[in-house]
Amino acid sequence: MNIAYISVPYRYGQGKPGTEHGPAAVEKAGLLATLEARGQEAVRYGEAAVLSEDAVREEDPKLKRLEGVVHTTNDLHLIVRDALSEQRFPLLVGGDHSMAIGTIAGLRQTIPRLGVIWFDAHGDLNTPETSPSGNIHGMPLAVALGEGHQRLTEVGGTDIKLQPEHLVFIGLRDVDPGEQELIDRLGIRVYDMEAIRTRGMDAIMEEAIAYLKETTDAFYLSFDMDGLDPSLVVGTGTRVADGIFLDDAKTVLKHCATAEDFIAAEFVEVNPLLEEGNGTAELANELIGDLLLAMETHRLVK
């Protein structure tokens, strides 16, 4: 494997201090050793540029800290684009989930028909008009679908970055009314907690990847730590009850890792300031290690 580790020490998509320390916390938990041991060719490829607190103002309550988000996601999309063009596997650690605006834009420049598996409790499909909070970490998928503020939808170019039939939700359970309207209108594929409990994660993931394989050139995994059950994660900002437990989360990673067209992964919303100790970052490092080991093993035995 040839992994490009990209850190995104950034919080401007949401209001709680701490996600800017996410990459450092995961590194403290042993990420660089994990990369060296399991990625073999892993390198610290890049770090997204982040504006200072003084440079970011909250001028629009419907689009909080817009300048900070645009600055980082514009830079990030270039880093991701370059990594993928060099035949590397972008592995991103954040950072709040608005960073996915840049991730998707960067991947899309190399993969025109990009697929997305979105592991998350939330829909992240709000627009400035539908968002209850004005926090942009609740908007990245709407932006990728071409909905929302022009400054955001034009990160990485003016074209629409993602088609609704190329998106799959895993673990969705907290959806705002405007998001549900968009899901229904666009026919987006959703595997909620009821489906996971009824059918099992193996069956869900087999179906999800087969679904994306029909219409996309490749897919990436966006893994929000709040998709996990709150009993597993304290250091993340928007926990939601009745989440995904560890065995099922690792099943998601296994299926992604062994898919031939899996091209990138990001782990987001680690906030070490919300807990004593470093447990959530340690779990993120464990999950990353499992993902990389499964990828390496699959490539050795195929």
**Active site positions, annotated:** 97, 120, 122, 124, 137, 224, 226, 269
Rounded distance, CA 23 to CA 300, Å? 29
Question: Are the CB atoms for 257 and 294 separated by under 8 Å?
Answer: yes
Rounded distance, CA 262 to CA 221, Å? 8
Rounded distance, CA 88 to CA 111, Å? 14
What residue type is assigned to position 219 of the chain? F
Annotated binding site for Mn(2+): 97, 120, 122, 124, 224, 226
CA atoms within 13 A on the CB side of 51: 17
**Residue at token pair 């195929």:** 302
Structure tokens at 207: 């179906």
Within a 10 A sphere around the Cβ of 206, how many other Cβ atoms?
A: 12
Rounded distance, CA 241 to CA 237, Å? 13
Annotated binding site: 97, 120, 122, 124, 224, 226
